[in-house]
Chains A and B, each alone.
Chain A
Amino acid sequence: MKKMNFDIAVIGGGPAGLAAAIQARKEGAEKVLVIERDVELGGILQQCIHDGFGLHRFGKRMSGNEYAQEFIDELENTDIEVLLDTMVLEVTRDKVIYACNNKDGMMEIACKAVILAMGCRERTASQIQLMGYRPAGVLTAGSVQRYINMEGYLPGKKAVILGSGDIGLIMARRMTLEGMEVKGVYEVMPSPGGLTRNIVQCLDDYDIPLHLSTTVAKVHGKKRIEGVTVAKLDENRQIIPGTEEYIECDLLVLAVGLIPENELSVGCGIELDERTRGPVLDNHFMTSVPGIFACGNVAVVFDLVDYVSQSGEIAAKGAVAYMNGKLTGGEGTEYVHTVPAGNVNFIVPQKIVKGEECEVQLYMRVKHPDKKAVLEVSEDGQVTQTGRHPFVAPPEMISCTVKATGNADVIVDMKEGK
């Protein structure tokens, strides 16, 4: 087996991994490696050809792959090593990575610190309850995106979309532009999962109807999908009898949510957070295993790529500090916590190393939409910071910098608007 040694290895070459690798090199790590299972760098962004990326970071609207290209170009001008077409199979608690590819076979890569940046995956048909057979023609929105935008296939002619997440909305427009007929978007919840601007620019612009509180009750067709039955739901998400309607289609697109890709993390015993479904992180984005860091969508589904890159940079700084013996982590370390209150659903990072007076970047989502909300941060009953939020909603992640003393839990409360 081929054996290698690196200061820092980054698993995943999407925007999180690219930003982390570049930052780690800048911070002084000498031997940095990126391992990517795909044939090229860029991650999910390579299939996101629509614009709207990079507004925060570059102050302009870029397409996803253009945003990725900025980082790929920067990385190619460094001595960071890249292994493409290489799958990581295992990460151990001692920071040894087992990976394989066609050329080198199995590899054992020992590192001083590891950064997890594997992104997320989409929920599939087996993770939601769909009645009927399992015919061909039921695909996730991301697979449809890849087929159309990269491989140049149209996976159907008449599509029904289940779920109103942003990727589904974007694909509604994309399929229409490619000459497919999109019969409608069906959302189980009473409010849309995606951003208003995507509803306006992807559905309204093309007169594609959005049906809220409606689900796909049955999939018809044995070998190939022939149609679906949709039905209205009551407040308890039960089908209202008599509202069933048959819709002919040859493609059912699922846009029903994303889940962090944490098989490798679980494999090495990293503690996960039930709410984010990513690792529990400290203010350096270190996981519960010392020297293993996480960033991007593997940590929490960010959806805004600018935050993804930022999280990569935070994790890289942490990884280099760990490598230089400035951080320890693990059992011997004590922590204070970031505690969501009021309308705040979750916060990343979840904890702060006790006694570290610091400025920490917090990422959070609210539970329900609200206007004129006030974010109140407090420690030990003392309000340390407040901020106004004219509008908050679950699809829009909130990011803010908070000063922490490291001596007490940081309570983050989104108070209801008056």
Chain B
Amino acid sequence: MNKKEFVCIACPNSCKLTVWEEGGEIHVDGHGCKRGIDHGKNEYTNPMRMLTTTVAIEGGHHRRLSVSSTGEIPKNMISQCLDVLYAVKLVAPVKRGDVIAADICGTGVDIVASRTMKHV
């Protein structure tokens, strides 16, 4: 039995969840409502996160362009995705929504520019 603790962030109540696996089933305790059960199970089995970071860019006002994932990415793949993005070098202009890395690391999620950067 591998017990893990999480704070539920589905609402500001911040219930302290305890999650464990027993007899092939996942159990959640400490939740104040049903949403906490889902949250606890997801965090235990496959936590997902949005990824926002920057990539290098030349020819614009700034030397970094902010980018964002179009959906959530498995938490344990974040650092692999970052390695890919840190190798990217762009040249302005870039428009918001331009795809910077499609289907990053096979996650099915794109990384897109979250702002426009004009050429200066």
Which of A's residues lie within 8 Å of B, judged by CB? 39-40, 46, 49-51, 61-63, 65-66, 68-69, 72-73, 148-152, 177, 195-197, 199-201, 204-205, 371, 390-391, 393, 396
Contact = CB atoms under 8 A, between A and B. Distances in A.
A66 B12 contact: no
26 contacts: A40-B61, A49-B114, A61-B50, A62-B114, A63-B115, A65-B114, A66-B96, A66-B115, A69-B96, A73-B116, A148-B54, A149-B64, A149-B66, A151-B63, A152-B54, A152-B56, A177-B53, A196-B9, A200-B6, A200-B7, A201-B49, A204-B7, A205-B75, A371-B13, A390-B11, A393-B12
B12 A196 contact: yes
Contacts of B7: 196, 199-200, 204
Interface string B41-73: 000000001101110100001111010100000
Contact of A151 (B11, B13, B62, B82): B62
Contacts of B11: 390-391
B9 A197 contact: yes
Contacts, number: 77
Given A69-B96, A69-B116, A390-B13, 16 more contacts: A49-B66, A49-B68, A50-B52, A51-B68, A61-B50, A63-B66, A63-B115, A73-B116, A148-B64, A149-B64, A150-B63, A151-B62, A196-B9, A201-B9, A204-B7, A391-B12
A326 to B, nearest CB: 38
B82 A177 contact: yes
Contacts of A69: 96, 114-116
Interface string B88-118: 0000000010000000000000000011100
Contact of A152 (B61, B64, B116): B64
A46 B115 contact: yes
B32 to A, nearest CB: 9
A149 B61 contact: no
Contacts of B6: 200
A196 to B, nearest CB: 4
A151 B56 CA distance: 10
Given A149-B54, A200-B9, A201-B9, A63 B62 contact: no
Contacts of B115: 46, 63, 65-66, 68-69
Interface in B11-33: 11-14
Contacts of A195: 12
Nearest to A40: B61
Contacts of A61: 50
Nearest to B95: A69
A51 B50 contact: yes
Contact of A205 (B49, B82, B116): B49
A61 B72 CA distance: 11
B52 A49 contact: yes
Contacts of A65: 66, 114-115
A51 to B, nearest CB: 5
Contacts of A62: 114
Nearest to A76: B116
A195 B96 CA distance: 29
Chain B CB within 10 A, most for which of A40, A62, A65: A65
A72 B114 CA distance: 13
A196 B68 contact: no
Lowest 7 A-B CB distances belong to which pairs? A49-B66, A65-B115, A152-B63, A197-B9, A66-B114, A63-B114, A196-B14
Contacts of A46: 115
A201 B49 CA distance: 9
